[in-house]
Amino acid sequence: MTSTTESSCTTQTVQGTHRFQICQFSYGNVGDNDYIRSGAFSVGGFDWVIVYCPDGDGVDGEEYISVYLELMSKYAEASALVDLRLINQVTGEACTICAENEVPNQFRSSSFEEATWGREKFISKRALKDSVYLKDNCLVIECVVTVVNELRVSGNKAFYQIEIPPPNALEHFGKMLKDASRADVTFKVRGETFPAHRAVLSARSPVFKEQLSEHMKENKMQHVTVDRMEPAVFEALLHFVYTDSLPTMDDLDRDEKDAVVQHLLVAAVQYGLERLKLMCECILCMSLDVKNVAVILRLADQHNCWKLKEACVDFLVPSERVDAVMKTHDYETMKLFSPSPLADVWEKSRRPRRSSP
């Protein structure tokens, strides 16, 4: 009889992420210093800041911006991996510009050179112009810091290797949606038919539960007609009910996807799907522009989407945007049927700004 034991040597790490938003990017450096520090953030028991140099940090770096991570804790030494990124303001995804993710960098607070790590020529100003990283004259820098602590060696233990597959319940539910053989209810939406399963719908939505219960109890109907909803929207709604996620919608352009998400938000409210409602609000917040903000603001006001409404109001506060939106047909419709959000915009735009100390 043989036995196997194991011990392990593990490096303890702590990871944190901080985003630094640079507003009025085109104004450059308006202070007395050559750099601007972000607010301090803590990772692994140390205080850190992002250092942003709008006019570069070097003799020939005027055409670039410089970005560094700086250890701010006094009399401290830290070992950390660093990933400096820019946020794509169309997709919301982060793109690595420079990173040290193989050998930890040694930070010492004794001097600026030893306390910082980054890139003098982080990215050129020419590359940033009209890029996805710059929106409304705003740039967002993200820094992921992984602090590496001391090694720890565990004691011996018996070694058993049993591989457990990842959870796959949602995958099976997704297959159920595609397999109509065991469906027990059918929805008819503007001439298109969607088979589904009463048990799944009732478990996910209190509205579906009540609706299907009434239909089957009163007249044993297995067919439900859905009015005032487009087939693409109902299909996306079912996809969420079965998979807890949204379909990719890669075949739609931006305006078409925007319209589907707006209608899907209304459907989420109609069927009591709070998570789907919040997912739609998040997507619409990321897609605000002069053409659609009036429609989305009216939608947010009608369905009590407070965060989405606040995002729309903030978007409209700059006077040049308000002037552009006022020329759209949707603005006239909102002014006629939903005037209260416009009062919020007017009040916020007229609110005096605090002078910096």
What are the extents of the domains in the chain? 11-151, 169-349
* Helix 306-316, helix 293-302: angle, nearest 10: 150
State how far the Cα of 144 lies from the Cα of 117, in Å rounded to an integer: 12
Each of the 357 residues of the chain gets a pLDDT tens digit; together they read: 456 777 666 778 899 999 999 988 888 765 556 889 999 999 999 999 999 999 887 767 788 999 999 999 999 999 999 999 999 988 889 999 999 888 899 999 989 899 999 999 999 988 998 899 998 889 999 999 999 987 666 666 665 667 888 888 888 888 888 888 888 899 999 999 999 999 999 999 999 999 888 756 555 557 889 999 999 999 999 999 999 999 988 888 888 999 999 999 999 999 999 999 999 999 999 888 888 888 898 899 889 998 998 888 888 777 667 667 776 666 666 665 565 555 555 555 545 444 434
Q: Report DSSP letters for 299-334, one per residue.
A: HHHHTT-HHHHHHHHHHH-SHHHHHHHTTSHHHHHH
In the chain, helix, strand, coil percent, each to 5? 40, 30, 30
What are the C-alpha distances in Å from 279 to residues 154, 242, 308?
43, 15, 11
Helix runs in the chain, H state only: 112-115, 125-128, 169-178, 198-204, 206-219, 231-243, 254-270, 274-286, 293-302, 306-316, 319-325, 329-337, 340-349
Q: What is the dihedral of CA 31, 32, 33, 38, to 10 degrees?
A: -40
Q: Phi and psi dihedrals of 205, rounded to 5?
A: -135, 125
Residue 277's closest CA among 310, 315, 250, 303? 303
Half-sphere exposure of residue 59: CA atoms within 13 angstroms, side-chain side: 0
Q: Which residues pair with 123 in a beta bridge?
A: 65
The total of other beta-carbon atoms located within 10 Å of residue 38's CB is: 19
CATH number for region 11-151: 2.60.210.10
Task: Sort 143 into a burial class: Cβ within 10 Å, 0-12 / 13-18 / 19+.
Answer: buried
Q: Phi and psi dihedrals of 36, rounded to 5?
A: -130, 130
Could you give the 3-state DSSP secondary structure of residue 284?
Answer: helix
Highest CATH level, class, for 169-349: alpha beta
Strand 138-153 to strand 77-87: parallel, antiparallel, or no bridges (unpaired)?
Answer: antiparallel
Longest dimension (CA), the chain: 85
* Helix 306-316, helix 340-349: angle, nearest 10: 50
Residue with tokens 């018996």: 158
State how far the Cα of 263 lies from the Cα of 309, in Å rounded to an integer: 16
State how far the Cα of 121 lies from the Cα of 67, in Å rounded to an integer: 8
Residue 278's closest CA among 316, 323, 240, 226? 240
C-beta separation of 39 from 152 below 8 A: no
> pLDDT for 305-323, tens place per residue?
989 988 888 887 776 676 6
